[in-house]
Amino acid sequence: MDVLFCHGLESAPHGAKYHALADAGLEVLAPDCRHKDLAERVALLSAAVLEHRPRVVVGSSFGGLAGLLASLVAQSRACTIDGLLLCAPALTWPDPQGLGVARRCPAPTVIIHAPADDVCPFDASEAFAAAHGARLIPVEDDHRLGTSLPLIVAQTQALLA
């Protein structure tokens, strides 16, 4: 499988980002995480990584944080990914209690985030990228990154290459 897509808190699994990735010919699995808290999302997504072995995890907003943590949990169980793409990730949320992994990049990591984002602070992505060696790509967009879909697809393809 190419991509595990982790949707945001108030979105659905098969939104614009999912369709952009699928329309580009990528095999995408998008578990339904609606109505799940962060601990439940991380459990569901890490199980998906362990079972389906996606090459790249792409996460958006709250799904970005959940995808990061799920990738780290899977890595702690000897399952690695080739790349991680975080789209306007919600990095200011605290980790679930008892998670047992430290935040870092589990694989080459790219963050696409708009400095003008009024939902998830850009400076949290800046700090994470600086501390952990992720590549931060600032974009002129809003939190949804609707005009950045071609960039999201291109960066996912680059992580798969």
Average pLDDT over residues 136-150: 97
Asked if the model's pLDDT at residue 45 lies above 90, the reply is yes
Average pLDDT over residues 81-86: 98
- What pLDDT sits at residue 44? 97
Question: pLDDT category, 29, cuts 50, 70, 90?
Answer: very high
b/e per residue 60-85 (b: at least 16 CB within 10 A) = bbbbbbbbbbbbbbbbeeebebebbb
- What pLDDT sits at residue 129? 98
- What pLDDT sits at residue 82? 97
Q: What is the mean pLDDT of the chain?
A: 97
Average pLDDT over residues 31-36: 96
Question: pLDDT category, 1, cuts 50, 70, 90?
Answer: confident
Please name the amino acid found at residue 83: G
Domain ranges for the chain = 3-160
Asked if the model's pLDDT at residue 138 lies above 90, the reply is yes
Question: What is the H or E stretch that residue 63 is in?
Answer: helix 62-76
Residue-wise pLDDT tens digits, 64-74: 999 999 999 99
Query: Is 143:88 a contact under the CB 8 Å cutoff?
Result: yes
Radius of gyration of the chain, Cα coordinates, nearest whole angstrom: 14
Domain spanning 3-160, CATH architecture: 3-Layer(aba) Sandwich (3.40)
* Chain position carrying tokens 């982790």: 6
Residue-wise pLDDT tens digits, 89-116: 999 999 999 998 999 999 999 999 999 9
Return the number of other C-beta atoms located less than 10 Å from residue 53's C-beta.
Answer: 13
